[in-house]
A and B are shown apart, each in its own frame.
Chain A
Amino acid sequence: MQTERVKALIEAALPCTYVDVEGDGSHFYATIVSSAFEGLKLLDRHRLVKDRLKDHFDSGELHALSLRGTRTPAEAQS
């Protein structure tokens, strides 16, 4: 799987203003800026992303995704 595909899955799952994905084909690392994170603590942000992508994890399409950064647009400005 390519990083572009992972990026597209994340963008389809959440309203994002920025998504960066790095990876080696099996393990991916994402940085996400999304308004969906507003008012959520970090644990709930990570739960939200993993939950929205659950079908892709369950199907085996996505195997390992680490979240490097999950910020709101306001936090990304500072």
Chain B
Amino acid sequence: MSERDIQAEIHKIVTENPVVLFMKGTPTFPQCGFSAAAIQLLKNCGASVAAVNVLADQDIRQGVKDYANWPTIPQLYIKGEFVGGSDIMKELYANGELQKMIDEVAPQ
């Protein structure tokens, strides 16, 4: 059995899905207030989100922090690029940028 290449797995997830949120819990049952807020903002934008529950996979949980060089969860990726955590998402949502980014990925 070969060893898992977590960084390659994460890279595959974020490049094969246009909008990815690494979160604690699931969109239906978030298990952290910051993750709950993050998924709500994406729902408000009408985004189709590939959500990854880091609580279900400790290797991914640590690996995604290394991947983005960002110490916290949630983490949002759009078109393979790390956008930010919950603070950044809130600020981007407030100024309309998040909606624009989502619309560009999936034109209405």
Contact = CB atoms under 8 A, between A and B. Distances in A.
Interface of A: 42-43, 46, 66-70
B82 A42 contact: no
A42 B85 CA distance: 11
Contacts of B87: 46, 66-68
A43 B88 contact: yes
Contacts, number: 22
Contacts of A70: 91
A33 to B, nearest CB: 13
Interface string B85-105: 101101110000100000000
A46 B83 CA distance: 11
Contacts of B88: 42-43, 46, 67
